Amino acid sequence: VAKQEGKAIFNASMSFHIEEQGFEHQIALPDMPSPDDLQSEKAYWQKTSPLIGGLMPPDLGQFDAIDVRVVGRREPLNPTCEAPVQGMWIKVSKEVGNDQAIQRMLLAYISDMQFMGTALRPHPVSFWTKGFQGASLDHAMWFHCDFKLDEWLYYYMDSPRAMGSRGFNRGSFYSQAGILVASTAQEGLMRLRKPKVDS
């Protein structure tokens, strides 16, 4: 339990399992463009920022450490209604060694990137929409096998349901060889505040 000013703001629960042999199957890696055929997130924002009044993501610096290549990008200021599915290739920019604890900590951080936006895709709103309020409420992650973050991983995301100002998202991380290495699930707040009317 993490506390701030004496109040609980975060709860984490973790479980561990000794490796053993057993039944094995997985859902196949979806068809998508190669990361070599896609623009990096940093290059996209450097090109787009002057066109939208200099607006930039608040965490743009993360793209120096993490190379992100988005599949099926939506325009931030003019979002169209689309299927609640998206994906992105990710890898870290420098070698991080073979310690799986470090690899998994980094992937846990990365797993929140653009995840909530999946539930927004069927609606004409984005994080840039005036009055939009979004926050991650619950986030779960499962690690299936070892992986290397200095090699490309594909993050496939879908959102089967949204209602009551909450969106539910699911995610799957695949290696380039098509091996499902980790899975995620998240519930996020997605609220559009009505403008205040002066009385």
What residues are labeled active site? 112, 136, 186
Cα separations in angstroms, 55 against 60, 121, 127, 150: 11, 20, 12, 29
Is the separation of the CB atoms in 168 and 119 below 8 Å?
yes
Answer whether 75's CB lies under 8 Å from 68's CB: no
Calculate the CA 116 to chain-centre distance.
7
Asked if 71 contacts 88 with a C-beta cutoff of 8 angstroms, the reply is yes
